[in-house]
Amino acid sequence: MKRYKKVIALLCSASLGLMSLAGCGKTKEAQQEEIVEDVQEIEDVMQGFLGTSLIKHSATAGKEETVYVMLDADGNQTSTVVSEWLKNADGTESLQDISRLEDIHVVKGSSTFQRDGEHLTWSTGGSDVYYQGASQEEPPISVKISYMLDGKPVKAKDLEGASGHLTITFNYENHTGRTQEIHGEERTIYVPFVVISGMIFDNDKVMNVEVSDGKTVNSGDKTFVFGVAMPGLADSLGIDEMENDEGKKLDLDIPEQVVVDADVTDFSLLMTLSIASNEALERLGLDDFDSLDDLKEDMDQLTDGMDDLIDGTARLTDGVQELSDGTGELSDGTDDLQSGASSLADGANQLLNGTYKIGSGVTSLRKGIDAADKGANDLKNGMDQLQAKIPTLTSGVTQLQAGITQLSGGLDTLDGKLSDPTAQAQMAALQQGSASVQEGLSAASAGLDQIVAGYDPESEDLAKLIGSLNAYAAGLEATGDANNAAYAKAIRTMVGTYQSMYGNVKTATAGVDALNEAYPGVDAGIGSMVDNMSTISGAVKKAATGAGQVKDGLDAMNEQLPVLSDGVNALTKGAGDLAEGTGKLKKGALKLEDGTDDLKEGALNLAEGAGKLSDGTNDLKDGVKELVDGVAELLDGSGELKDGVMKFNDEGISKLSDLVNEDLEKFYDRLQAVRDYSEEYKSFGGCRDDVECSVQFIYKSDSIGE
């Protein structure tokens, strides 16, 4: 099986080379001007798929040579460039070389050389040497390309944009023939070159592609075409002269050319690429024998190997059928995966939108909590101020009570005096009582002024505070919490008490006003007491009534002061707790806001990842579809391979194994001569006898209509 793997590997290499160069076509003029760059590009590609790496120095000695032959679209040679790789296994500073090339120049590294005719001395610096040069010599294989459109010969230049049935023929001529006596007769033998030619067709322009002795590979938008030929090998081996054990000519076809047929529309062709190497015997497995017996044994092994290969292709077909069944299940699975990924992407986008709404709501909540926190702190400050004024209020009420008591006593004394028949005699006492009344009125007026000035509930500050307290109480009641309801009740009791207390103050104020209104009469009566005693008595009684009202109001107010003080203390504590709670709530809102930012970022990453997953599953779905299509093609191809192997066995291997002994001996001698000749041909540009050299040829043609 090894020999067949080598053939497949070479075909794959050619495929990679063509695909890599598909975008590198140049016009004919550009190719003429940039041949060296073109060659270097091809060489880089070849090194890539041949596994060649640029290392300091190689592990083995030798010289590898690649000859690039540039052709026009009809196969006429335009130039030849040779690329040499001189391997420095020991890492020496100097290497001896032979070369017939012209215009030699280093393409990699910094090596230099001295030339004496064909002898080159390289200063390597311990590295391998990579150089190129030109050659005027004729390559051992020439490639001619001819075209027929609808059965008529045409030139390449006339094919641009053409439509119809196109036939492209690659004709190869082997120029290495030499005459040699073999088995008692003069024969011409050739170096056994195998040539693989390939090209790429655009499926929009080319269809129904067929190739002789080769393979087509359809990638969907392009078709890759490969054909194989071994020019000169049939003549070297005398295939046409051989007979089988029935005395019939051996009908064994070794291809000398490659023919491609296709239907084309608006035709164009990027290029063609042909690879030639003297490995035909190796590809056929005819290079490893030392005697006729070995050859017979090899033929037997080849026959057995073909039987195994036929069985293997049958198993391959069965395996590909199982693979085809599996890809159907894989396709169904990727459909489910794609649907799920699409749903995930939709859900992730919805989650992302939701997190933005949450973020907006949390921001609004934080702003509201900031306002509540400020209000709670303002309330706490106001309650602290109110609590600080309670002692002043208590002191003012006490002073007012003392003044009213003094006023009431003076009025009682005055009234007694006025009722006394000896009042005239006691004028001095009356004047003293009037002075006491005046003093009491002044004290009462001062106390009331203090209360009215600082504790009017309709003043701006207290009205605002009372409004805030009522609103806060309503908010506490709305929570439904028992403790909050108790706080609310205490607030409302305190406010009611304060307002009631201020009503009593106003009553007292009314009494004082009555006293102030009445006292001028008292004063006037004192001036003419003798004549107006009855008037004074009435005024005094009126003033006494007012003093009694003031006293009653102050007594009630004095009783309510402890309740007011307790309410203010409780409310102050509640305001402090409220401020502390809103402070914690504010910190929590900030953390919540930060958390929603992280949530938004995570949701965004999820949405982006889900989108990529959805895109990836779409690509996977497309890829699986291509895989299914490819497996279907593989299934068809495995069937074709099985048929082809059986055909190769029937038309080739079995016929070789049927050779009669005499023809087999002749075949052996010719094969031995061809093998020896193949081993002799190891270089195109020049090689030292003591160096292991190898060579391959790459033919690149110009484009048509590109």
The 3-state secondary structure of 563-626 reads HHHHHHHHHHHHHHHHHHHHHHHHHHHHHHHHHHHHHHHHHHHHHHHHHHHHHHHHHHHHHHHH
- At CA 666, angle to CA 662 and CA 668, rounded to 5? 110
Nearest to 141 by CA among 188, 113, 178, 173: 173
Q: Residues 302, 653: contact at Cβ < 8 Å?
A: yes
Residue 690, pLDDT above cutoff 50 = yes
Residue that the structure tokens 């809102």 belong to? 589
Residue 52, pLDDT above cutoff 60 = no
Q: Residues 205, 250: contact at Cβ < 8 Å?
A: no
Q: In this predicted structure, which of 109-113, 149-153, 515-519 has the lowest mean pLDDT?
A: 515-519
Q: In this predicted structure, which of 125-139, 371-385, 624-638 has the lowest mean pLDDT?
A: 624-638
**Total residue count of the chain as it appears in this document:** 706
Q: Which DSSP helix (H) or strand (E) runs through 529?
A: none
The amino acid sitting at 139 is: P
Report the distance separating Cα 574 and Cα 579, nearest Å.
8
Assigned token pair, 127: 């590295």
Residue 623, pLDDT above cutoff 80 = no
Q: Give the count of beta carbons closer than 10 Å to the beta carbon of residue 276.
A: 26
Which comes out higher in pLDDT, residue 288 or 70?
70
Hey, what long-range contacts does 23-29 have (CB within 8 A, 24 or more apart)?
25/270, 25/271, 25/703, 25/706, 26/703, 27/703, 28/72, 28/702, 28/703
Strand partners, 187: 180
Q: Please tell me the predicted confidence (pLDDT) of residue 128.
A: 94
Nearest to 349 by CA among 600, 143, 103, 571: 600
Q: Please tell me the predicted confidence (pLDDT) of residue 39.
A: 54
Q: Give the count of beta carbons closer than 10 Å to the beta carbon of residue 37.
A: 13
Residue 89, pLDDT above cutoff 70 = yes
Residue that the structure tokens 């020991």 belong to? 90
Nearest to 668 by CA among 255, 184, 237: 237
The amino acid sitting at 254 is: I
State pTM to two decimals: 0.48
3-state secondary structure of 59: coil
Q: Residues 269, 199: contact at Cβ < 8 Å?
A: yes
**Which of 166-175, 275-284, 306-315, 330-339 has the highest average model confidence (pLDDT)?**
166-175
Q: In this predicted structure, which of 29-38, 243-252, 531-540 has the lowest mean pLDDT?
A: 29-38
Q: Residues 255, 174: contact at Cβ < 8 Å?
A: no
Report the distance separating Cα 220 and Cα 203, nearest Å.
8
Report the distance separating Cα 117 and Cα 96, nearest Å.
13
DSSP class of residue 240?
G
Q: Please tell me the predicted confidence (pLDDT) of residue 17.
A: 43
Residue that the structure tokens 């190689």 belong to? 58
Q: Residues 98, 120: contact at Cβ < 8 Å?
A: yes
Q: CA-CA distances (angstroms) from residue 275 to 2, 46, 196, 278, 680?
A: 20, 11, 5, 10, 20
Which comes out higher in pLDDT, residue 172 or 30?
172
Assigned token pair, 534: 């009855």
Residue 559, pLDDT above cutoff 80 = no
Residue 496, pLDDT above cutoff 60 = yes
Nearest to 85 by CA among 64, 106, 55, 54: 64
Report the distance separating Cα 361 and Cα 365, nearest Å.
6
Residue 319, pLDDT above cutoff 60 = no
Q: In this predicted structure, which of 212-221, 235-244, 427-436 has the lowest mean pLDDT?
A: 427-436
Alpha-carbon dihedral 619, 620, 623, 629, rounded to 10 degrees: -130
Q: Please tell me the predicted confidence (pLDDT) of residue 334.
A: 67
Q: Name the pLDDT band for 339 (thresholds 50, 70, 90).
A: confident
Please give the share of the chain, as a percent, with pLDDT higher than 90: 23
Nearest to 568 by CA among 468, 494, 503: 494
Nearest to 639 by CA among 295, 219, 405, 318: 318
Determine the average pLDDT of the residues in 173-194. 91
Q: Which residues contact 663 (CB under 8 A, 6 or more apart)?
A: 241, 242, 243, 250
Q: Which residues contact 458 (CB under 8 A, 6 or more apart)?
A: none
Q: Residues 145, 274: contact at Cβ < 8 Å?
A: no
Q: Name the pLDDT band for 624 (thresholds 50, 70, 90).
A: low
Q: Name the pLDDT band for 6 (thresholds 50, 70, 90).
A: very low
Which comes out higher in pLDDT, residue 233 or 357?
233
Q: Please tell me the predicted confidence (pLDDT) of residue 474.
A: 87
Assigned token pair, 368: 């509201």
Residue 316, pLDDT above cutoff 80 = no
Q: Which residues of 596-626 are buried (b: 16+ CB within 10 A; e: fewer)?
A: beebbeebeebbeebbebbeebeebbeebee
Q: Name the pLDDT band for 531 (thresholds 50, 70, 90).
A: low
Residue 205, pLDDT above cutoff 80 = yes
Assigned token pair, 311: 């069985």
